[in-house]
């Protein structure tokens, strides 16, 4: 059985689908701080099989002992965490508590209950903004906000835990920019309140929930002046997790690998691709640059291909179509 922390969240819910469809038994642990329990029903509808679900917090050590003692957990996919950069600047202690203390509790429980493998959600935000493109796994790391620093701390904590017990196995997966949704339109990214990421914002503007998209920075040294990112379809991303999990279950070691497409797409290119894929209009305006944003970021994907034999299959058009289908199907309850 695979314990999926944060399994009702955006990436975690898609991982539950990919894991179930790959034949794994799934147990979700989520405190529902950024998701709803209804997601479990939707996963069950897609897969024809319902993951086990426990509502709870990864910082609750007695609950973790109970969960890992009560189920035969072979590995953990660890998605639970807070992820909004701006919020992390305003509430750093909440981020250190949730992300760092939470993961510390999980690693401790893992060691006590002798669970030997973990796949961990890291982020391309750990790379120093001055590194050249494409970003390879050995590029220098330097975070520029508290959220990124929690990922740096956690990458290091995992490395130390592995070094102390080389009979364990960890994959630290550095995501680029996950977008899109499952093709059923039943699960997707459902931000509570104001969206922090570009694609949910684009969807909400296209749906008329928000008036227009502000594009931060039109004077970067890029193809059209707007920021360039490596957007990756969430289903490709979670398929990468399943391959990484199999790798961890089959061997001992510490793997650090980028999950991206290796292709950069500018914000304006994404907006235009969205409009033409979905036949709708996304009103937008160029505004000033935002503090902390880099001009461009895309992945060197060679290691993922060489070590995991994994590569992405879905393009920008599919990302835009699937995001829009999810927007149309999902309720508007969190959009205001
Ligand atoms: N979405 C991205 O763009 C992105 C990029 C890079 C890395 N990541 C990382 O991937 C992971 C998943 O991101 P997501 O986009 O699915 O976020 P999400 O907010 O949709 O999902 C996270 C889930 O974890 C749960 N959770 C949070 N704190 C918890 C706690 N203490 N105990 C139990 N459950 C808790 C939330 O309720 C939510 O369901 C995060 O660690 C995030 O930092 C995300």
143: domain CATH number is 3.40.50.720
| 71 assigned to some structural domain | yes
CB 59 near ligand 1, within 6 Å: yes
| φ, ψ of residue 169 in degrees (nearest 5) | -145, 125
User: Residue 169 and residue 32: Cα distance in Å, rounded?
Assistant: 28
Please write the tens of the pLDDT for every residue from 30-63: 999 999 999 999 999 999 999 999 999 999 999 9
Going by C-alpha positions, the residue among 147, 293, 138, 276 that lies closest to residue 214 is 293
pLDDT score of 27? 98
User: Residue 290 and residue 278: Cα distance in Å, rounded?
Assistant: 28
Residue 124: pLDDT over 70? yes
| 67 assigned to some structural domain | yes
Average pLDDT over residues 117-136: 97
| 151 assigned to some structural domain | yes
| 16 assigned to some structural domain | yes
In this structure, the chain runs to a length of 336
- Enclosing domain of residue 102: 2-181+231-260+299-312
CB 127 near ligand 1, within 6 Å: no
User: Residue 12 and residue 113: Cα distance in Å, rounded?
Assistant: 23
Ligand 1 atom with the smallest distance to the CA of 98 is 31
Residue 335: pLDDT over 60? no
Ligand 1 atom with the smallest distance to the CA of 177 is 3
Residue 97: pLDDT over 70? yes
User: Residue 329 and residue 249: Cα distance in Å, rounded?
Assistant: 36
CB 81 near ligand 1, within 6 Å: yes
| 85 assigned to some structural domain | yes
| 118 assigned to some structural domain | yes
Question: Ligand 1 centroid vs 81 CA: distance in angstroms?
Answer: 4
Q: With cut-offs at 50, 70 and 90, classify the pLDDT of residue 195.
A: confident
Q: Judge if the upstream peptide bond of residue 134 is cis by omega within 30 degrees of 0.
A: yes
Residue with tokens 């050590």: 61
| 279 assigned to some structural domain | no
pLDDT score of 331? 56
Q: With cut-offs at 50, 70 and 90, classify the pLDDT of residue 3.
A: very high
Please write the tens of the pLDDT for every residue from 242-297: 999 999 999 999 999 999 999 999 999 999 999 999 999 999 999 999 888 899 99
Q: How many domains does the chain have?
A: 1
Q: With cut-offs at 50, 70 and 90, classify the pLDDT of residue 333.
A: very low
Please write the tens of the pLDDT for every residue from 63-83: 999 999 999 999 999 999 999
Going by C-alpha positions, the residue among 56, 55, 3 that lies closest to residue 26 is 3
User: Residue 182 and residue 63: Cα distance in Å, rounded?
Assistant: 31
% of the chain residues with pLDDT over 90: 93
Mean pLDDT across the chain, nearest whole number? 96
User: Residue 168 and residue 111: Cα distance in Å, rounded?
Assistant: 9
User: Residue 75 and residue 98: Cα distance in Å, rounded?
Assistant: 21
Average pLDDT over residues 298-314: 98
Residue nearest to atom 32 of ligand 1 (CA): 57
% of the chain residues with pLDDT over 70: 98
CB 155 near ligand 1, within 6 Å: no
| 287 assigned to some structural domain | no
Q: Which of 95, 147, 162, 175 is catalytic?
A: 147
pLDDT score of 330? 85
């Amino acid at each position: 059985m695979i314990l999926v922390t944060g399994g009702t969240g955006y990436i975690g819910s898609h991982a539950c689908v990919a894991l179930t469809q790959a034949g794994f038994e799934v147990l979700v642990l989520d405190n529902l701080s950024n998701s709803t329990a209804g997601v479990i029903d939707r996963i069950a509808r897609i897969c024809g099989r319902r993951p086990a679900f426990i509502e709870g917090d990864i910082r609750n050590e007695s609950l973790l002992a109970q969960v890992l003692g009560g189920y035969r957990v072979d590995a953990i996919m660890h998605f639970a965490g807070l992820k909004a950069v701006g919020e992390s600047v305003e509430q750093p202690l909440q981020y250190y508590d949730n992300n760092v203390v939470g993961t510390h509790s999980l690693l401790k429980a893992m060691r006590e209950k002798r669970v030997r493998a973990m796949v961990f959600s890291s982020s391309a935000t750990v790379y120093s903004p001055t590194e050249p493109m494409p970003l390879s796994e050995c590029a220098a790391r330097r975070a520029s906000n508290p959220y990124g620093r929690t990922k740096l701390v956690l990458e290091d904590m995992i490395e130390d835990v592995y070094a102390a017990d080389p009979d364990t196995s960890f994959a630290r997966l550095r995501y680029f920019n996950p977008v899109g949704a499952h093709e059923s339109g039943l699960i997707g990214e459902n931000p509570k309140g104001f969206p922090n990421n570009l694609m949910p914002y684009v969807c909400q503007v296209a749906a008329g929930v928000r008036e227009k998209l502000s594009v931060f920075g039109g004077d970067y040294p890029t193809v059209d002046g707007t920021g360039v990112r490596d957007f990756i379809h969430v289903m490709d991303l979670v398929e990468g997790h399943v391959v990484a999990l199999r790798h961890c279950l089959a061997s001992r070691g510490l793997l650090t690998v980028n999950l991206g497409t290796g292709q950069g797409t500018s914000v304006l290119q994404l907006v235009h691709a969205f409009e033409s894929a979905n036949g709708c209009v996304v009103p937008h305006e160029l505004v000033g640059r935002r503090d902390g944003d880099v001009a461009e970021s895309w992945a060197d994907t060679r290691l993922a291909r060489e070590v995991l034999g994994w590569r992405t299959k879905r393009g920008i058009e599919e990302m835009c179509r699937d995001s829009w289908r999810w927007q149309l199907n999902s309720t508007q309850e969190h959009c205001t």
